[in-house]
Amino acid sequence: MASFALDPEQLKWCAQVRDWAAERLRPLAEAGEPGRVNRPLLAALGELGLLARLFPGTALELCLLRESLARECTEAETALALQGLGAHPLLESPELAARWIPRVVSGEAVAAFALTEPGAGSDAAALELAAEPAPGGWRLTGEKCWISNAPEADLYTVFARTTPGAGARGVTAFAVPADRPGLGGERLDMLSPHPIGRLRFDAVPVGEQDVIGEVDRGFRVAMTTLNRFRPSVGAFAVGMAQAALDAAATHAASRTAFGAPLKELQAVSHTLAEMATRTEAARLLVYAAAEAYDSGAAWTARSSAMAKLFATETAQYAVDAAVQIHGARALERGHLLEHLYREVRAPRIYEGATEVQRSIIAKELFA
């Protein structure tokens, strides 16, 4: 049976990332405007060499990076993850990768992954953005919604239907620069503080040189990307759960109620014990899923689904429990837990909702 204990070098690197996040990245995040792309933050991630770790890097490295950043600065974690998600599909096309990856790694170019539509979220094969044949390529017409980094990204990985009625087999992935004529959008005011928006395509021109991978094989590109990043969504959740646990334990040790520190109350101490146990279990599931992905194991899909399911649900529990232990002060605007309370909800939905993960796990049981 594999052991998922980290070696001394990995532990040292994680500590270094946490230090960078607290000392260099958090001030930049706090100076940014919620709901807008924070370009100085991205530039710092590039300068520190953290964005370069995305391409190619192992799944375990990605998980360690996202967990470490999330413990100290969720904005930095999310900015990094969105660069990876938006640009990773480009690795399918050497020419596109050579053109864009260096700019993404430096933080100069902002990338976005444009899959979701108003009527196609978890059922990604149902997308309707039309790629209609045109001289020299296609014209994209339709809408994408709830796209992170939209409408401020410099490059969008866009999934469009090139063959009507073909389901998942009729989808093509395109690299679409933001300055293409006919491409517009607007910001959406969402609970999460990171940028999310809507994109509108009015006969946006794309050509053969913009195709990522192969025509009508874009769904495979999307799933390959999501399968790689799914365990690391769990790592993001573990980082938030650990931050909530640390805050709750510190508060319980210092706050007095009913003549004793909160930690002496059994209701509080047992809650902390439950938070710690679930967080550690989630961490081990995430590391196991990353190792399965890196080794090409047959159970990768099941392991990744379990990791994302359990870690995101655990983070929701841990943050909520930490708020309860803190009381009203945790709900004040600007408090760490108020911030985490807004951040923690979305990961249970994006990149495959909790219900989708359960369906994947159940299907694997009977495969």
Q: Among 67, 351, 355, 364, which one carries the catalytic annotation?
A: 351
Contacts of 142 (CB under 8 A, 6+ apart): 117, 128, 129, 130, 160, 201
Q: Which two tokens stand for residue 222?
A: 């999307």
Give which of 20, 9, 68, 19 is closest to 45, Cα–Cα.
Answer: 20
CA–CA gap between residue 66 and residue 77 (Å, rounded): 6
Contacts of 249 (CB under 8 A, 6+ apart): 263, 272
Q: Is-contact 142 195, C-beta < 8 A?
A: no
CB atoms under 10 Å from CB of 206, counted, come to: 23
351: annotated active-site residue: yes
CA–CA gap between residue 362 and residue 28 (Å, rounded): 43
CA–CA gap between residue 272 and residue 225 (Å, rounded): 35
Q: What is the dihedral angle through the alpha carbons of 171, 148, 42, 7, rounded to the nearest 10 degrees? A: -80
DSSP string, 264-328: GSHHHHHHHHHHHHHHHHHHHHHHHHHHHHHHT-TTHHHHHHHHHHHHHHHHHHHHHHHHHHHGG
Radius of gyration over alpha carbons of the chain, in Å?
21
Q: Which two tokens stand for residue 104?
A: 């993404």
CA–CA gap between residue 166 and residue 210 (Å, rounded): 21
327-352 residues labelled b (16+ CB within 10 A) or e (exposed): eeebeeeebbbbbbbbbbebbbebbb
Judged by DSSP in three states, 24 sits in helix
Q: Which residues are catalytic?
A: 351
